[in-house]
Amino acid sequence: MIDPVKFWSKLAPKYAKTPIKNQAAYQAKLDITQSFFTPQTRLLEVGCGTGTTALYHAPHVAAVLATDISPAMLDIARDKQSATGIDNVRFEELNLDVDPIAETDFDVAMAHSILHLVHDLPGALGKLHDALNTGGILVTSTVCIGDWNPLFRPLIGIMKLIGKAPHVSLLTEKSLTAEITNAGFEIIPQDRVAGGDAVFIVARKI
């Protein structure tokens, strides 16, 4: 099995240079997320990659803790932060499958393009639930490969075998929604984000 730290760290420089596929869909998700912010908001992100989303939101909240498994992703994120002068974001290493989220009292948590990558989804959602205040918001944009044409599955299997793909779960929108609900969240219905190729879900901790 591929070591996820090595896999994502090797990819980090290329990932940083890859433009966002659908800027309109990305912006719509940013806007929906910001509708839950106040100036006092404490924001958590898991699987933050090179920090683009955390740094975008930072001026609109009190503080951001942005975490990722890959030191190389986090180094790029910190370089971007230095270039902007934003001082209310901390980038820290955290493997969502292994490490606890040591801090609590967050108002909003983001998990974008990460929930399909973890081995223990109920465990990961439990950690996010524990880190949030009651009434806190979970926002996730997640690729649901289980809803894709099944012909893709052998291809994914081959890519994993040759080290070109990490572990991915075949989540469907239905199974992801059920996992989030089972973890103690209620779904806040959203209009479908046009053109997005991931499922966008907003949920409140109950």
Q: Which of 205, 206, 161, 203 is nearest to 33 (CA)?
A: 203
Strands 42-46, 106-112: pairing is parallel
Residue 141 corresponds to which amino acid? S
Q: How many CB atoms lie within 10 A of CB 39?
A: 8
Tell me which stretch binds ligand SAM (CB under 6 A): 108-116, 126-134, 172-180, 189-197: 108-116
Among 43, 48, 109, 115, binds ligand SAM (CB under 6 A): 48
Residue closer to ligand SAM, measured from CB, 8 or 200 = 8
Residue 73 near ligand SAM by CB under 6 A: yes
Among 28, 55, 64, 96, binds ligand SAM (CB under 6 A): 96
Structure tokens at 175: 């199974």
Residue 54 near ligand SAM by CB under 6 A: no
Distance of alpha carbon 187 from alpha carbon 184, whole angstroms: 10
Q: How far out from the chain centre does Cα 159 lie?
A: 22
The DSSP secondary-structure symbol of 20 reads P
Site string (136-175) toward ligand SAM, x via CB under 6 A:
----------------------------------------
Residue 51 near ligand SAM by CB under 6 A: no
Tell me which stretch binds ligand SAM (CB under 6 A): 33-41, 91-99, 130-138, 172-180: 91-99
Give the Å distances, CA to CA, from 63 to 31, 91, 147: 18, 11, 36
| Residue numbers at the binding site for ligand SAM (CB under 6 A) | 4, 8, 46-49, 68-70, 73, 94-97, 112-114, 117-118
